[in-house]
Amino acid sequence: MLGNNLPSHNDVIQLYKSRNIKRLRLYEPYHEVLHALRGSNIEVMLGIPNSDVKHIASSGNMQDALDQIPGRPDQSSIRIVVSETGWPSAGGFGATTDNAATYLRNLIQHAKTGTPRKPLPIETYLFAMFDENNKNPELEKHFGLFSPNKQPKYQLNFGTSDISAETNVTTSSLISEM
């Protein structure tokens, strides 16, 4: 959360609730955010920083832990999760509001139906909830689904409603990031 113009944590939680957003992903355990989430019934996923992924994936302890899972599922029961994806609306070549909206609309349609081999909804985290004015380079500032004033940047249809009325209907398995 690298912006000095973002809504308060409590305002963001109220926006999530008003838009029926059921889940979010945090990149760090921000105590203020976790406190604001208390009692909200919003599910939280805590992500692993990219810099730690290689170490975790290559750790022998991690493989040992996976091998010890009782009733470990076979590959056919593993769910696909797109951990984060998005398209910037400004700040670089091809980064326009129209391109970002098209990318997100196509992603939402694809996430609802899955792949030919796994025709099930794909859990997908949209990056990010708000534009963040303190990020660098310029391109990184423009991934938000909402402007810092909480107004939607795109008209996105999540199946039973759109982002201007309700974001992230749970049946679509789409999740926003805070």
Per-residue pLDDT tens over the stretch 6-49: 999 999 999 888 877 888 888 888 889 999 999 999 988 887 77
User: How confident is residue 96, by pLDDT bands cut at 50, 70 and 90?
Assistant: very high
pLDDT number for residue 48: 77
Instruction: Tell me what percent of the residues of the chain surpass a pLDDT of 90.
Output: 34
**More confidently predicted of 127 and 142:** 142
Bridge partners of residue 125, in order along the sequence: 175
Whether 62 is in a domain gets the answer no
**More confidently predicted of 174 and 91:** 91
Whether 64 is in a domain gets the answer no
Computed over every residue of the chain, the mean pLDDT equals 79
**Number of domains within the chain:** 1
Whether 98 is in a domain gets the answer yes
Whether 129 is in a domain gets the answer yes
Q: Which domain holds residue 36?
A: 9-47+80-177
Whether 142 is in a domain gets the answer yes
Whether 40 is in a domain gets the answer yes
- State the Cα–Cα distance between residues 15 and 152, nearest whole angstrom: 11
The catalytic residue positions are 84, 132, 135, 140
Q: In what order do the strands lie in the sheet with 174-177?
A: 43-46, 23-26, 174-177, 123-126, 81-85
- State the Cα–Cα distance between residues 20 and 14, nearest whole angstrom: 10
Q: Would you say residue 57 has pLDDT above 60? A: yes
What are the φ/ψ torsions at residue 83 (nearest 5 degrees)? Answer: -70, -30
pLDDT number for residue 99: 96
**More confidently predicted of 29 and 61:** 29
Q: For the chain, how far is it from start to end, CA to CA, in angstroms?
A: 7
pTM here is 0.71
Whether 3 is in a domain gets the answer no
Whether 66 is in a domain gets the answer no
pLDDT number for residue 166: 31
List the structure tokens of 41. Answer: 């019934």
